[in-house]
Structure 1
Amino acid sequence: MNLLRIPCFILCCLLFSCQENTAQDMEDTIDYRNEMRNFVIEISETAKAENSNFLVIPQNGIELIFQENELPAVDYLDAIDAVGQEDLFYGYPEFNKPTPTPDNIYLKKHLDSAKSSGKKVLVTDYCKTPEFIERSYSLNEENNYISFAAPRRELDIIPSAPIYNENKADINKLSEVKNFLYILNYAEYPSKQELISELAFTNYDLIILDLFFNEETFTAEEIQQLKKKKNGGDRLVIAYMSIGEAEDYRYYWEETWNSNHPGWLVEENPQWAGNFKIAYWNEDWKNLIYRNENSYLSKIVNANFDGIYLDIIDAFQYFEEKK
């Protein structure tokens, strides 16, 4: 073919089409599950290099504990200390409703495999009816899972109900944890100090919370304050971090992204405004998460948290469904 005889606009179209096809071919060869496993492993290695006792807990995406051949994903399991699961008994697909039996059985099969590999299981059920709350705690205890019955999907309040398995013991490792609190949205608290006071006045063995109060991070001194239960016992404090979606209210978000998204920012999550699906294997995204002194992970480690609770681990499902 003589390219000199092809009109410029046709040539441009041909070249663009080739680039599009090449990009699509590259996407078709991506192992989305393995990319997420590798991402978690890299985060774990980076954090544990700073603190060997730092806990790494991925939430949801429990399928990642198995490779395609159904054998354990050993490197992934070695990198994590526990697994988190939402909606095991209550909350899926609707808040304050029992999770359908087939979904429950599927999840339990995988969670029990993680448990047999020596990993603790942290379950968050979403229910507010007293009978459902009591049943949630009972079912989770029967299965040797640590659980929290969240009375609101927004995770914005400290429940007024008594803490399940409340105790005075010092909790210095995950194997000692008998209960936990999961709180991410602080809209109910007018100031950071008021939130800290409320949290310090509880006896939860473990607290999972967001690093930021509005745009202000918790300091190492504040987190150290939270590591004491009201009754004097020690407890663990874990930081939440989403790695499968970008959030436009985070410190890393650039104003220009609102009108000109970077290539790895895919599309907004229709169920959560301000949250964006991302190509989580992208180098630029990994740089924001863990690869420099101003990274999200560095801020968490420097704030003296005992570990990290990684969310949107199941982002691989979104890309597999788009294939």
Structure 2
Amino acid sequence: MKTSKTLLLAVAMFLCLFSCSRSEKLAPLKPVTEEQKISPAVIDYREEMRNFVIGISEYAKAQHPQFAIITQNGIELITTSGESDGTLSQAYIHAIDAVGQEDLFFGYTDDNVPTPAEDNAYLRAFLDRIKADKKVLVTDYCSGQTNMNRSYSSNNSNGYISFAADHRELDNIPSYPAQPYGVNSNDITSIAQAKNFLYLINPQNYSTKARFINAVKATNYDAIIMDLFLDTNDPFTAAEIDQLKVKANGGRRMVICYLSIGEAERYRYYWQSNWTVGNPSFIRAEDPYWSGNYYVEYWNAGWKNIISGTDTSYLKKVLDSHFDGAYLDIIDAFDFFENI
């Protein structure tokens, strides 16, 4: 199964300051040796990711009980066996408020191309296990009115809310449709109430915070997923995030912060000039497809403390900036470690 990951824009320093969602197959993997299979020290990488997410949720909700935790991809984590008909992992499911899934109906093999029926069915088998209790947010990568309409109607008929992204870079507000699918003026105080969302995590087309804020304020999306930073040295303040919480029609919306937890990103504020593979020890390998993104031992205390749980952590900055939730990406990093 294809792994979805974060798109690094590295054209110039300005473009390298933002992470975008991306979806590619991993490089050829080395076979697991018999010695590795029987080693008593083998790590349960899926359980470690579940534990990481649970810890992030506990830390955030202790400070803000209504703070939403949404995990993107890695949907296999909802069952203890990793099979769609397996026992649900109740502790993990209890810790999250929604799940995100890329490429469900479009984009799995290429942008604007329908996802193969077999892969779509595989993903929906998991998503349908959880949709009664947790909101499902689907991002399809397609363009043109015909395919975008198909994406929205297919997701709606399956009980998911969705965003048809006509730019894989997630750097724009699509001009079509003119209003979000399922537009409404209701106040949205939990992600369960949302009928649509905007995925805009790469603000490269907005030269100032004011331009970004004004563009979003002019929309009626129930939720927006965005980055904490306009650029590395310019995070959005609490007052600025508060401005984004009112839809153009007057209803309240949720503002969700994108946060990669399975890879370290070289363009983030926490990156030190002497960091490289093996230093610090939790940095394991550079993503072969996305320069500047590094797989991390996400179970390592050093990495966990960067992301969550301390007053200097990334998540604390998100909470202090008045975001309503976090959208956790690279949840499926367990694929990398299971296959190296």
TM-score, with structure 2 as normaliser: 0.85
For 1:100 and 1:91, the matched residues in 2 are separated by: 10
Segments ≥4 residues shifted beyond 6 Å: 22-27
SS in 2 for 1:38: helix
1:109 and 2:122 are equivalent in the alignment: no
- In structure 1, give the amino acid aligned to 2:125: K
In structure 1, what is the Cα distance between the partners aligned to 2:192 and 2:91?
21
Residue 272 (structure 1) aligned with residue 285 (structure 2): no
Candidates 116, 119, 141, aligned match of 1:126: 141
Distance 2:155 2:41 in 1: 39
2:242 maps to amino acid: Q
Higher relative contact order (CA 8 A, sep 6+): 2
The alpha-carbon deviation at position 260 of structure 1 amounts to 6.6
Aligned partner of 2:245 in structure 1 is: 227
The equivalent of 1:174 in structure 2 is 191
Q: Residues 277 and 285 of structure 2 are in contact (CA less than 8 Å); yes or no, is this contact kept in structure 1?
A: no
How far apart are the structure 2 equivalents of 1:67 and 1:35?
12
Unaligned ranges ≥5, structure 2: 1-34
- Structure showing the higher helix proportion among its residues: 1
SS in 1 for 2:327: strand
TM-fit CA distance, 1:169: 1.6
Q: Tell me the residue number matched to 2:162.
A: 147
Counterparts of 1:126 and 1:68, CA distance in 2: 29
Cα distance in 2, alignment partners of residues 88 and 27 from structure 1: 37
Superposed CA deviations along residues 122-164 of structure 1, whole A, max 9, x for unmatched, are: 0000001221100000000001101000001110001111221
- Aligned identity (percent) is 53
Q: AA paired with 2:205? A: E
**Contact 2:75/2:127, CA 8 A, preserved across alignment:** yes
Asked if the contact 2:278/2:284 (under 8 Å) is kept, the reply is no
Tell me the equivalent position of 1:257: 275
**Aligned equivalent of 1:81:** 97
Distance 1:256-1:27 versus aligned 2 partners, 3 A rule: farther
What are structure 1's unaligned runs of at least 5 residues?
1-21
Instruction: Quote the offset at 1:247 in angstroms.
Output: 0.1
Which string of whole-angstrom CA distances, capped at 9 and with x for unpartnered residues, describes residues 32-85 of structure 1?
A: 000000000000000000011110000000000000282110000000011100
SS of residue matched to 1:57: strand
Q: Please tell me whether the aligned partners of residues 185 and 251 of structure 2 are also in contact (alpha carbons under 8 angstroms).
A: yes
What is the match of residue 164 of structure 1? 181
Q: Which residue of 2 aligns with 1:41?
A: 54
The secondary structure found in structure 1 opposite 2:288 is coil
**Matched residue, 2:25:** none
Instruction: Map residues 183-198 of structure 1 onto 2, 5 A cutoff.
Output: 183-198=200-215
* Equivalent position to 1:212, from 229, 235, 241: 229
CA distance in 1, matches of 2:304, 2:162: 31
- Show CA shifts across 1:63-122 (max 9, x none): 000002821100000000111000000001211111111110000000010113x01100
Q: Give CA deviations for 1:267-293 in whole Å, capped at 9, x if unaligned.
A: 111222211111111110001001211
Aligned to 1:16: none
**Aligned counterparts of 1:146 and 1:239: Cα–Cα separation in 2:** 18
Structure 1 residues 217 and 317, CA gap change in structure 2 (3 angstroms): same
Bigger radius of gyration among the two: 1
By how many angstroms is 1:23 displaced? 11
C-alpha distance in structure 2 between counterparts of 1:207 and 1:297, whole Å: 17
Q: Letter of the 1:199 partner, please give it.
A: V
Using a 3 Å threshold, how does the CA distance of structure 1 residues 41 and 56 change in structure 2: closer, same or farther?
same
Residue of structure 1 equivalent to 2:330: 312
Structure 2 CA distance for partners of 1:26 and 1:278, relative to 1, 3 Å: farther
Contact 2:68 2:190 in 1 (8 A): no
RMSD: 1.7
* CA 1:220–1:26: 2 relative to 1, 3 Å: farther
The SS at the match of 2:270 is coil
Q: Distance in 1 between matches of 2:147 and 2:108?
A: 13
Between 168-177 and 207-216, report the one with greater CA deviation.
Answer: 168-177
Separation (CA, whole Å) in 1 of partners of 2:186 and 2:309: 37
Q: Across the two proteins, how many residue pairs are aligned to each other? A: 300
CA distance in 1, matches of 2:281, 2:299: 12
Q: How far apart are 1:171 and its partner, in Å?
A: 1.4
TM-score, with length taken from structure 1: 0.90
Aligned equivalents of 2:225, 2:316: Cα separation in 1: 17
1:158 match: secondary structure: coil
In structure 2, distance between residues paired with 1:24 and 1:278: 22
